[in-house]
Amino acid sequence: MANLATTFAGIRSPNPFWLASAPPTDKEYNVRRAYEAGWGGVVWKTLGSEGPPVVNVNGPRYGAIWGADRRLLGLNNIELITDRPLEVNLREIKAVKRDWPDRALVVSLMVPCDEESWKAILAHVEDTQADGVELNFGCPHGMAERGMGSAVGQVPEYIEMVTRWVKQHSRMPCIVKLTPNIADIRKPAEAARRGGADAVSLINTINSITSVNLDSFSPEPMIDGKGTHGGYCGPAVKPIALNMVAEIARNPATQGLPISGIGGVTTWRDAAEFMALGAGNVQVCTAAMTYGFKVVQEMISGLSDYMDGKGFAATSDLVARAVPNVTDWQFLNLNYVTKARIDQEACIKCGRCYAACEDTSHQAIWMKPGRVFEVNDAECVACNLCVDVCPVQDCITMVELPKGTVDARTGRTVGDYANWTTHPNNPSAQAAE
């Protein structure tokens, strides 16, 4: 059987599934239950420095986006870092690590942007025997207004500076958690590496307002008639997270930097996709908050079965396997031509493909008598929209045209662009013209 044990930034865990820094990791009771359920590690909810207490709202903290079946697609939260006393958190972390030495325990930190504050809290965390620290440079609400969280994560110079402080004053592995609320995710990752970070984790939550109450005219969640922006997470953010993970993994300046993938991981498939794009492990929050801690058991068994089927002996066989296939648009192969094909036996004659193509795409699907739908190759640009809107899996597929055949739409023989130097997608060819 595949070995799911991982070593991430020098931190060992029995599997690659960690709980992210969030409400599920806010106290000893939760973390012990998580370990009992099978989680390989946790990132303890963000600790702040000694000083004025953090005060969370005493009203709704979450807004939600649901699918048509009321399946939770995304959560928006306005919760701050832990509001429990620092000494209580530290005592509980030490007790949990003592009793669960084989599980990863990383402590998330967020303190004011000065060296003494970081030096002080690092000394406290080291005393707990925790395995590492994660620097929370991503939180987009509440703390950012105080010059912390994403206010630091959006400035590469600050990331590099604080990371250097942490590496100077601590023996522990340092993971830098990145904000997605930035134009180019590669820049903060590069800054973290320059500062000496042992790894990065991403994405943190996305700045958002999920809904507006049309009676009170306040954003939700609503606190005494007012609302604010919060951090968005859950399955809906997964595509954004996958792209950002891939950008760091394939960037020469950050190549080889360990990545912890976060953002909408709900199933083993989600985890495998993050890992294939370069993540050494994954962190989960919304799925645990939706289904409970035991959701990890399906993740573990599913990933193990998948790896066995692929012949992967260890997670390292999967990590970054898809990265060489991530490229820029201009390098995509114009010699690759496909056409949609409809399986008439599987078709339920709903007409979604026809409506979508006729009204919003390329008028490439005919509706014949008896509601029989067929593809008109002369108009089909292989956009794949019909496949995506069809309610029957594999009823519509995209079939590659073999080289040497004539594309009915363009009249061009498949394989015309044999000479890359004249390929319209080639930036060098365009520059030469």
What is the spatial distance between Cα 112 and Cα 155, in angstroms, rounded to a whole number?
15
Q: Are strands 174-177 and 132-136 parallel, antiparallel or unpaired?
A: parallel
Estimate the crossing angle of helix 295-310 against helix 28-37, to 10 degrees: 40
Residues 191, 195, 199: CA angle, nearest 5 degrees: 80
Whether residue 139 lies in the annotated active site: yes
Residues 6+ apart with CB under 8 A from 130: 44, 93, 97, 105, 106, 107, 172
Q: Is the peptide bond before 203 cis (omega within 30 degrees of 0)?
A: yes
CA angle 405, 411, 413 (to 5 degrees): 35
Tokens of residue 198, six digits: 């042992």
Strand order in the sheet with 72-77: 62-66, 72-77, 230-233, 206-208
Phi, psi at 106, each rounded to 5°: -110, 140
Give the torsion through C-alpha atoms of 293, 245, 275, 240, to 10 deg: 60
Ramachandran quadrant class, 421 (left: phi over 0; alpha: psi -120 to 50; beta: rest): alpha
Active-site pick, 113, 139, 233, 347: 139
Q: For residues 340 and 364, is the Cβ–Cβ distance under 8 A?
A: yes
Residues paired with residue 207 on neighbouring β-strands, in sequence order: 231
What value, to the nearest 5°, has the Cα angle with vertex 236 and ends 233 and 238? 80
Whole-angstrom distance, CA of residue 95 vs CA of residue 106: 14
> Rounded distance, CA 204 to CA 262, Å?
7
Dihedral sign, CA of 272, 273, 279, 283?
negative
Q: What does the chain come to in residues?
A: 433
Judge contact between 48 and 54, C-beta under 8 A.
Answer: yes
Residues 6+ apart with CB under 8 A from 322: 246, 273, 276, 277
Closest CA to 287 of 222, 221, 237, 212: 237
Residues with catalytic roles: 139
